[in-house]
Structure 1
Amino acid sequence: MLLLNASYEPLTTLPLRRAILLVLRDKAEVVHGDAAGAVLHSATAALSVPSVIRLRRYIRVPYRRRVPLTRVALMRRDSHRCAYCGKKAETIDHVIPRSRNGPHVWENVVASCKTCNHRKADRLLDELGWELNVTPTVPRGLHWRLINGEQHGDPQWAPYMARAAA
């Protein structure tokens, strides 16, 4: 579900349960229903599953210059591929290990498979003779800051994402 501020600016994505609670508590309203037309039923009511909801009151959101570094966003940035061998990534790895004063920033963290992460341990790439397949960078674009890197989603979100980019 896409959550919009009262001004129709996209804020975040949230799980169905949280979206339904916001609507039932009259803190949000449904802007678009689910494209499949799904309906949730209770003993006394029926509610169409929302795809986009809007808060009834405006929430001030502090501006962040940098995209927050999270495991989910990092995996999305690296397309769930190991930066060392290209296989499916399951973990994250610091290029310059934390034990050697490597910072926990976008430019020093990559997605890694368990095998490469274990083999690298707390060593530098030069010590192993390894190279990175990609250069770790800070993600760019409004969608990374607004909705945690969510690039896919319901086509009904497009007008709201375009509004945010403008």
Structure 2
Amino acid sequence: MDAVLVLNADLGPLHRVPIKHAIRMLMRQVAEIHEAEPDRLIGIFPVPRVLRLVRYVVTRWRYTHGPAWSKGAVLRRDGHRCGYRAAPATTVDHVLPRSRGGRNTWQNTVGACYACNQRKANLTPAEAGMRLLRQPTVPSWSNMMQR
């Protein structure tokens, strides 16, 4: 178990934290265990899978702004699958290349395997004779929490 899901007091997902951080939250009594590993303890605490905050945290900003763009987040959004063929994605490809004004945005980037990224090079998918298997989209917060 590498991360613990943290829920708001209304059971809405907030983020994931490392197990050490989760234990500190329990010790400070800012969270309670919502779901735990059966028959496993860390000191006096069951090993948590899911924590629920004791007090509600206002998160209006989550609804006005989507998750921040990053290469790791793009790979997570795409399930670590290449956007051009059925292969594991190890890098991120810009649909409109950066040299032509393409930006680091959710709608302009897809996960790609090394071979497809090299083949497409500094071209658009149409120019390279490649077809995107799915259109890149801005993920929701809940989609990013599940991956």
Q: Give the aligned length.
A: 142
| Residue equivalent to 1:145 | 141
Q: TM-score under structure 2 normalisation?
A: 0.80
Structure 1 SS opposite 2:23: helix
Structure 2 SS opposite 1:118: helix
When you count strand as a share of all residues, which structure comes out higher? Answer: 2
Instruction: Determine whether 1:11 maps to 2:14.
Output: yes
The letter for the 1-side match of 2:141 is R
| Residue equivalent to 2:75 | 75
The letter for the 2-side match of 1:57 is R
Structure 2 SS opposite 1:148: helix
2:137 and 2:143 map into 1 onto residues whose CA distance is: 18
CA pair 31-129 structure 1, distance change in 2 beyond 3 A: closer
The letter for the 2-side match of 1:130 is M
8 Å Cα contact 2:15/2:145 also seen in 1: no
Q: TM-score under structure 1 normalisation?
A: 0.72
Q: CA deviation at 1:66?
A: 4.9
8 Å Cα contact 2:30/2:55 also seen in 1: yes
1:120-131 alignment runs, 5 A limit = 120-131=120-131
Structure 2 unmatched runs, 5+: none
8 Å Cα contact 2:33/2:51 also seen in 1: yes
Structure 2 SS opposite 1:93: strand
The letter for the 1-side match of 2:40 is A
Residue by residue, what CA displacement relative to the aligned partner does 1:63-115 show, whole Å, maximum 9, x if unpaired?
Answer: 33453234344223323211123211111111101121113222211110112
| Residue equivalent to 1:64 | 63
Picking from 48, 51, 67, the partner of 2:49 is 51
Instruction: Determine whether 1:103 maps to 2:103.
Output: yes
8 Å Cα contact 2:5/2:16 also seen in 1: yes
Structure 1 unmatched runs, 5+: 152-166
1:71 and 1:24 map into 2 onto residues whose CA distance is: 34
Structure 2 SS opposite 1:30: strand
| Residue equivalent to 1:155 | none
CA RMSD of aligned residues (A): 2.2
